[in-house]
């Protein structure tokens, strides 16, 4: 991931130093498990732990140089670890294991830690949207379908629905975390031919992972599930961002991204305050969905294993997790700081719309008065067209329409905004996690 979109805490998890250090921990735990089975002398395992090499840039460089000879990165890693620890104790490193035992288990441990960050940041986004929903549930705004004015709604309803979607994403993220928090140390083709199952149990327990049956590799549908959780989150953030972008347009003007002192919206036009973060979220969501496609193609491997997935995962998994966390933090910033313009929203609702948002209410009032629905629809549709063509307020047109025989009371009720929004707080009942 390019540094621009790489949160430091997540990037550190996918660094070579962290990768090799986690692999080393798997190796040492496996040796310690073999002590309990009477295979490795306790003194040798203690020496492995005591002489554990520091995994730093120099260590990584040594592994990379060794790989130029071995053309096998895990074999190069084992060679360097054994060399740093020394013999004869170093000979117990990687005893009875195959590369995937170490690499897959370490990778799943890292992905689990990354998903913990994703879950934490998802909670923050959901809670930010929830706060905005509660504080703005009584603030009216015109609803839109097909991009056209429809019935009134409120800012709070919009925020609440986004919060509910992110809460569903939270469920998916937690499920994906459970799916990837697994390990395997069952040897070549996964049959425990040269390693006791107790080693797998011991190592996974110490890493907080669940042992799972496997071929030579852990099944890649688990990794695809992580990518789906990330892609789903990205799509939800895109939906929120797209709403911000639409409502921020000059001719709408109902919201505005936070704008810091000294910020420039355009290099050429000083008046601009562009929704750049929302646009960025929309764009990056496309990247996350692309990673999912590649992850799904990694699921089908030949027989007990091949490594067609390996090169793909080295790119997409670190990038997807870093990008997801970056987007979550930006989306939370946007939700927390989004500037609302209630006066403009009310103007658009009542004035710019010419009052046409009340057309259904007039239709229903006519039906209640005894007019057939088809006849009522024709009358209201004709009046709406007159309102648009003559740029007259819809209520004024209705009041002067000879085919409309509604009482003053019925007419007032039809154009009563409070009546239409009487149940606006009901959506908050669905936000069951709110304080």
How many CA atoms are closer than 13 Å to the CA of 370, on its beta-carbon side?
4
Q: What ranges make up the beta strands (E) of 82-215?
A: 140-145, 148-154, 182-183, 210-211
The SS3 of residue 140 is strand
- Catalytic-residue membership of 271: no
Give the integer Cα–Cα distance in Å for 27 and 206: 12
User: Which residues pair with residue 152 across a beta bridge?
Assistant: 142
Active-site hit among 146, 271, 303, 423: 146
The token duo for 193 is: 């031919």
The Cα angle at residue 20 between residues 95 and 66, in degrees rounded to 5 = 80
Give the integer Cα–Cα distance in Å for 141 and 137: 10
User: Which residues pair with residue 340 across a beta bridge?
Assistant: 255
The burial of 283, by beta-carbon neighbours within 10 Å (0-12 exposed, 13-18 middle, 19 or more buried), is given as exposed
- Catalytic-residue membership of 223: no
Give the integer Cα–Cα distance in Å for 426 and 428: 5
- Candidates 306, 285, 185; CA nearest to 232 is 285
Give the integer Cα–Cα distance in Å for 84 and 122: 41
- Candidates 109, 97, 106; CA nearest to 30 is 97
Name residue, tokens 């990778």. 107
Active-site hit among 193, 266, 308, 311: 266
| Pairing state between β 339-340 and 255-256 | antiparallel
The SS3 of residue 142 is strand
| Pairing state between β 182-183 and 255-256 | unpaired
By annotation, the residues acting in catalysis are: 146, 266
């Amino acid at each position: 991931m390019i540094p621009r979109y790489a949160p430091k805490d997540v990037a550190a998890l996918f660094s070579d130093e962290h990768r090799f250090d986690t692999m080393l921990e798997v190796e040492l735990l496996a040796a310690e498990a073999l002590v309990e089975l009477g295979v490795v002398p306790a003194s040798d395992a203690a020496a492995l732990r005591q002489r554990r090499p520091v995994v730093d840039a120099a260590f990584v460089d040594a592994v990379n140089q060794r790989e130029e000879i071995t053309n096998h990165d895990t074999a190069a890693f084992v060679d360097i670890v054994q060399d740093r620890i020394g013999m004869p104790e170093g000979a117990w490193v990687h005893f009875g294991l195959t590369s995937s035992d170490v690499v897959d288990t370490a990778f799943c441990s890292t992905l689990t830690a990354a998903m913990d960050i994703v879950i934490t940041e998802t909670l923050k986004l959901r809670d930010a949207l929830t706060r905005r929903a509660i504080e703005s549930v009584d603030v009216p705004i015109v609803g839109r379908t097909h991009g056209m004015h429809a019935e009134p709604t409120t800012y709070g309803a919009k925020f609440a629905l986004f919060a509910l979607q992110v809460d569903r994403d939270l469920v998916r993220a937690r499920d994906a975390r459970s799916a990837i928090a697994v390990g395997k140390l069952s040897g070549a083709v996964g049959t425990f031919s040269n390693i006791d199952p107790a080693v797998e149990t011991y190592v996974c327990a110490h890493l907080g992972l669940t042992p799972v049956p496997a071929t030579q590799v852990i099944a890649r549908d688990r990794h695809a599930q992580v990518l789906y959780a990330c892609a789903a989150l990205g799509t939800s953030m895109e939906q929120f961002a797209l709403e911000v972008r639409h409502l921020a347009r000059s001719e709408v003007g109902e919201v505005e991204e936070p704008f810091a002192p000294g910020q420039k919206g355009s290099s050429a036009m000083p008046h601009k305050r562009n929704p750049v973060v929302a646009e960025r979220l929309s764009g990056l969501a496309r990247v996350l969905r692309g990673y999912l496609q590649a992850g799904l193609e990694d699921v089908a491997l030949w027989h007990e294993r091949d490594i067609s997935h390996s090169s793909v995962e080295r790119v997409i998994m670190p990038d997807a997790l870093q990008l997801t966390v970056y987007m979550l933090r930006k989306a939370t910033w946007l939700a927390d700081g989004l500037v609302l313009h209630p006066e403009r929203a009310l103007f658009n609702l009542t004035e710019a719309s010419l009052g046409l948002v009340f057309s259904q209410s007039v239709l229903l009032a006519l039906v209640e008065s005894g007019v057939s629905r088809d006849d009522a629809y024709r009358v209201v549709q004709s009046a709406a067209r007159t309102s648009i063509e003559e740029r007259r307020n819809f209520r004024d047109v209705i009041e002067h329409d000879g085919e409309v025989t509604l009482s003053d009371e019925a007419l007032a009720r039809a154009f009563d905004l409070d009546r239409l929004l009487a149940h606006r707080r009901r959506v908050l009942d669905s936000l069951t996690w709110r304080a």
